[in-house]
Amino acid sequence: MTDETTKTRSKTRRRLRGWWIALIAVGSVGLLVAGAAGFFAWSLSSSFDSQTTKLPDIFPSDDASRPPVLEGVAAQAQNILLLGSDTRGENDGSIDDLTGQRSDTMMVVHVPADRANISVMSIMRDSWLEIPGEGKAKINAALSLGGVPLALQTVESLLGVRVDHVAIIDFEGFKGVTDALGGVDIDNPVAFDSSHLPGHTFAAGVHNLGGVEALAFVRERYAFTDGDYQRVRNQQAFIKAVLGKILTAETLTNPATLSGVVGAVAPYLSVDEGLDSAYLAGLGVELREVRMNNVTFFTLPSSGTGTSPDGQSIVVIDQEKLALVQRGFQTDTLVDVVPQLQAAG
Per-residue pLDDT, 41: 58
Task: Flag whether 172 is in a domain.
Answer: yes
Strands 269-272 and 53-55: parallel
Task: Flag whether 272 is in a domain.
Answer: yes
Is the model's pLDDT at 88 over the cut of 90? no
Structural domain that includes position 15 = 3-330
3-state SS assignment for residue 150? helix
Say how far apart CA 181 and CA 242 lie, in whole Å.
8
Q: How many domains does the chain have?
A: 1
The amino acid occupying position 56 is P
Task: Flag whether 178 is in a domain.
Answer: yes
Is the model's pLDDT at 311 over the cut of 50? yes
More confident residue, 199 or 102: 199
* Contact present, 230 and 224 (Cβ < 8 Å): yes
Alpha helices (H) in the chain, listed in sequence order: 3-26, 39-51, 141-159, 172-180, 211-219, 228-246, 249-252, 255-265, 277-286, 319-330, 334-344
Per-residue pLDDT, 169: 84
What is the dihedral angle through the alpha carbons of 55, 56, 61, 66, rounded to the nearest 10 degrees? Answer: 20
Which of 113-122, 236-245, 306-315 shows the lowest mean pLDDT across its residues? 236-245
Under the banding of pLDDT at 50, 70 and 90, the label for residue 313 is very high
More confident residue, 228 or 330: 330
> Which has the closest alpha carbon to 160: 342, 331, 41?
331
As a whole-number percent, the residues of the chain with pLDDT over 70 amount to 79
Measured from the Cβ of residue 271, the count of other Cβ atoms closer than 10 Å reads 26
Say how far apart CA 132 and CA 127 lie, in whole Å.
15
User: Looking at residue 127, what DSSP letter applies?
Assistant: B
The amino acid occupying position 15 is R
Per-residue pLDDT, 344: 63
Q: How many CA atoms lie within 13 A of 333 on its CB side?
A: 11
We report the CATH number of the domain holding residue 121 as 3.40.630.190
Per-residue pLDDT, 1: 59
User: What are residue 67's phi and psi, to 5 degrees?
Assistant: -60, 155
86-92 contacts at long range (C-beta below 8 A, 24 or more positions apart): 86/170, 86/171, 86/219, 87/170, 88/170, 88/171, 88/172, 88/268
Is the model's pLDDT at 94 over the cut of 50? no
Task: Flag whether 339 is in a domain.
Answer: no
Is the model's pLDDT at 314 over the cut of 90? yes
- Per-residue pLDDT tens over the stretch 193-218: 999 999 999 999 999 999 999 999 98
User: What are residue 25's phi and psi, to 5 degrees?
Assistant: -60, -45
Task: Flag whether 337 is in a domain.
Answer: no
Task: Flag whether 340 is in a domain.
Answer: no
More confident residue, 171 or 204: 204
Task: Flag whether 321 is in a domain.
Answer: yes
3-state SS assignment for residue 315? strand
Task: Flag whether 237 is in a domain.
Answer: yes
